[in-house]
Structure formats: structure tokens, C-alpha cells
Structure 1
Amino acid sequence: MKLGARALLAAGLFVSATLAPPRVRAEEPTATAEAKAGARAAAEKGTNAFKESRYDEAVDMFLRAESLFHAPTHVLMLARSYVALGKLVLAKEAYHSIVREELAPKAPAAFKLAKVDAEKELAELSPRIPSLQVSTTPEAKNVVVTLDDKPLPAALIGIPSPIDPGTHVLRATAEGMAAPEKSVTVKEGEKAAVVLELAPVASAGPITPVPRPLGPTGPSEGREQPSGKTSPGRIAGVVLMGLGVAGLGAGGVFGGLSLAKRAEADETFDACGVGCWGPPADEVRALDDDANKKGNIGIIGLAAGGALTVTGIVLFVVSKRSPGKAQAKAFVTPWIAPQGGGVVGRF
């Protein structure tokens, strides 16, 4: 997939959870009788669902009807369903597509009435749509911001952008830095702003020395361990190495699944085209989300597996270093951070 095309799709997905209906020319290709009949059936089901407050189902039905046969009346009901669901940004885009459309002189009266209603309802809706400006501080390299687990296009960082009312979750990372997760509740018509404060990622927690066991006359440093027994440290080392190898394997598997999903998303998008919308665009977004989730799991698995494996090796080696002496002062502390993992300790 071309990077430019994918960037356009990503920006569209930030503004709305699914692409809004595109502007349609007044002269539509002649639809088959079967397509028109199917569109009417889907629109009737959508209207019934809307009257019964089943707005998710109504959205699905009107999208299907519009995919079979374009009619401003389908898009108008789609916009109203989005408004009922609180998806104001999507609703605005649907209204806009009707207002921008140039109807033929002989267009049905229902189409002309739908355009009049769309203009009126759009004017009423626009002031209700809130905006959110997301910024990060201090300046950093490779800043990545997510809004509700979806990447926020870099071009939108630092500028107000329309957003649906409700509670949204923000995260940010940068090269060697991260910001704590922050939730923000935006009300209708509100102009909100959030600053995510980046800070260096801690590589490890506080290191506390392990107290040495005391003998009858003081510290037991240098006391001989019973011979012929396996050191507990070596057992723990083997266990941790096993867990680490399992984590690395799981990370590799999910990484491969992520690449496969990403390739499937690319193929689906290429088949659909930049101007696609409705169910095909939903499928592309779902595949991308699935690829991101599997990729994140793969990264966590590799980081945790690597840290556990290194920790197990260190424990095994430390316990083996002095067979006749207790290693009272030795300790290790594994750590995992967004950018990787490892161990620290004193031997």
C-alpha cells in the first residue's frame, strides 16, 4: 500500500470511526432493478430500527442501502442515526455530503427535501461538536500520540480537532520518554485542550540489597553450604530461563501474526481504493486494529521473554560461581519498560 494513501485513510479514521459517505455526482449510473429493490428493503429495515431506537442496526442498514443505490434520503437517515449514537463528527460529514451534492433538475422531490432538511440539521448540529487540542511537552523525537487506542496523525498534534463528546483516553510516547495515560471528558460544544507531559522512562525500580542471614555469632558470610544439594538460585535460574524462552516464542508468533494481518489490510485497502467507505473501510480499520494489537502483544512478549531469560542466566551463573560459599550479597532485579527490558543487580 502506498504510504500517502494509508496516511489519508488514517487521518480519516481519526475524524470518524468509519469513512463518511463521499460526495456523489448528480448523474449516478443506472442501478439494476435488483439493487434498487435491495436498497429499498435495507432502508425500510433501517427506518424501523431507527424508530425503535436501535441506532447501531439503523446505521448498518442505511450503509447497506446506500452501497446498493445512492439516495440522499439514505444518507440523511444515516446522519440522524449517528446523531442519536453521539457520533457527531460522522453525522456532520454525512450531512455535508448531502449539502454539497448537486441534484439534477428532475431529481425526486424526496431527494430535494432531504437536502433542505440536511442543511437545517447541519446548522443545528455544528455548534454542538466539541474540539480537542492535544499537545506534548517537552520537545522530543519520534512522538506518537494515541487517542482511544488509535494513532493520532502527527499533523493534528497541537491543533484543535473535532471530536465526539464523551470520555477519551490519551497516551504518548517518544524516544526514551513516555507520558502517563490521561483521560479527558469533553462535553458538547466544549473547546478542550490537553497537554501530555513526557518524562524519561525509568529503567528500573529502587534497588534494595538482600539482607544476609545471621549465624549464631554474626553474619554467615563464607559459611559452607551443604554439599550434594542443588542451589535454589540455580533452580530459579532454570525456571526463569524456561519462562523467558516461552515469552520469546510467544512474542515471535504474535509478531508474525501482526505482519500477516497488516499485509491482509494492505490487500483489502488496495482492492477498495482511497475513496472507499462503509463496510470495506470498516474491514480495513478492523484489520489494522487487529495487527496493532498483535504487534503490541509481540513486543511485550519479546521484551518480557528477553528480560526473564537474561535474569535466569545470571541467577544460574551466580549460583554456580562459588559452590562451597553462600552468595549472600548477590541479587538481581528484572525490569520491563515500553522500550524494552533487562536486569540490574550486584554479584
Structure 2
Amino acid sequence: MNTARYALSAACLSSALAAAGAASAADPDPAQAAFDEGVAHMEAGRFEQGCPAIEKSQQLDPRPGTLFTLAECEALRGRLATALARFDEYLALYPTLAPKQQRNQGDREKTARAQREALARDVPGLRLELPPDAPPSAVVELDGRRLAPTAIGPLLPVDPGKHLVRAQAPGVRAFERAVHLDRGEKRTVVLEMTAPPAPPPPAPPPPPGSAGGAGGTSAGGPSTPPATTPDTVGGGRRVAVYVTGGLGLVGLAVGGVTGALAMERKGVVDRSCAGTACNHEGKTAADAMKALGLASTIAFGVGIAGAGAAAVLLLTEPKAASAGASGGAWVAAGVVPVGSGGAALDVRGAW
């Protein structure tokens, strides 16, 4: 801050203090008390406290001298645009004063014009512009204050520092930006107001007869699950009977085949072994016989379990489902001998 340029007028400050001293003899009113407090802060360089106090005094008891002192305080505070506006108010008020009141102001009118000319060179300027397609109902705010339509476009004097610009209108996306301006800086901000993205198109309705389609739900009401009939219940049980029964038959068949192969290896062992002594062929056959015997035992166990489960499901099946299954699918498996000492698995069925 160039304090020499915006220094408080010594004569004006002296007259203000003299007026304050004269008034101290009487009971101080709130406006005078606020003014005295503000001037005391100004003398100490505490402009952040002094200017609001002087402004309060002006609001309680408007006086030309108080207005002039407030303008000088704001200039020293660094709020150049605010000080410029206060000097303009004072210069507009001065011609309306009586000749005696003008004489009491001393050199304030001359000082105010000089101060205003100096401030005008350093006050930052902010120009706000709306795009051509902006809606007529657009509302523009600067630092929380709504601007008149005539303020959109011209260069607005603002104080140095940070400012918040906001523009909004129904049906468009709000625009908001923080702008920082230094002393004497001029800037233009275009308030880019764009329409929000269009909502995605609605999903096409499902085809009639599908889940959630026509006939699946009532208008405005919750969907109702399809009615359960004996055929649908029996159909699920019937599939389980086929699966477990088929596994049981396959297990029995595999057990039979592996058992037959084990018996074949036993014949080789009897021919090639004498007691515990076996030649190479006998030993190989003995090892294969043990493995086939174990596989046969396991397969028979699986077959018996599967057949038992299928029997339980079949016996407990509802009559309607059982009746429908009598002429339906069937499956059968068995062991068929092949050649001398061989066997094959035979599985048959219909679905």
C-alpha cells in the first residue's frame, strides 16, 4: 500500500478529533462513540477494526465528515473500489450542503477529488459476460450479491483480492469460479452456462411372455411368481431321480466290469504263481488284480448309493408326477462279455 498516496488528511483528522473532544463533554451518543473508536484504530494503523466502526457511526448518524473519514479509512485499508465508491458518495453530497456546511468541510472536497483520481488508476476491474445462448432468467452473483442486468457487460470496479463469481438458471448447469485480481488488473470472465447432460433413454420393454414383460406384472402392482403346478414340482424331482439313478447304474456297471477284469487277472495269477513265488507275469497280474478289486469295490459302493437315493426319490414322488414319469425317460446299464475273459459297459436309455 502506498500510504503517501492515500494518507489520511491531517487537517481532516484534527477536525474530527476536535469534534470528538467537544462532544465528550456531553453524554456520548452511540454514533459518536463508534466514530471515536474508529478514529483511534485508524491512528494506530488498525484499519480492519477502524473502518467497520466508522461505517457503523455513519449508519447511525449520517454526516458528511464521517463519510469522508470512512472513504479515507477504506483507501488505507486497501479496499480501493470501496473507497472510490465512498468518495463518489461524498462528492455527490457536497453540492447539496448549505454554504456554511461547505465551509465547515474545509479542503475535504478538493482532497476527495484528488484521492478519487488516484484511486481510479489502481482499482481493479472485472467484466462479466453471458454467452449469447444464456437463458434470460440467468442470475449472476458477485461475492454473494446479485447483480442487476445492467451490471453484466460493463467493467465493474472491485477491491484487490479474491472474488467469487456465480451464474445459474433453471435447466442449465450452474457456473462458479474464483477470480483473484491485483491492483490495477483488468479481467473478463465469460459465464459459461451449459445444459446438463441428457438422461439416458429408457430401456426398451421386454418382449411379451418374458420375465417382467406383458402379462408378467400387473399395471402398477408387484410382479407375481408363476403358479406352481404338480407337473413342475414332479419335473424337478424326476430329473433328480434320473441323475441319481443313472449314477447308481453306472457305478454298478463299472463295479461289474472291474470285478470281471480282476477275476481274469486271478486266472493268470493261478497259472503263474506257486504259493508266494511268482514269475514276472504273475506278479504283474497280481498287482493289477488288487487295483481292479479296489476299483470294483468303490464303484459298487457308488452304484448302491445312487440306486438307493433314486429309489427314495421315486417312492416319495407325488402320484401326479409319478404317473407322468411312467411313460417318460428311462435309463439302464449292464456288463456285456466281450471275447474270452473280457467285458464291456452297456448303458441304454431314452429321454
TM-score bin, normalised by smaller chain: 0.3 to 0.5
> Taking CA–CA contacts closer than 8 Å with sequence separation of 6 or more, which of the two structures ends up with the larger relative contact order?
1
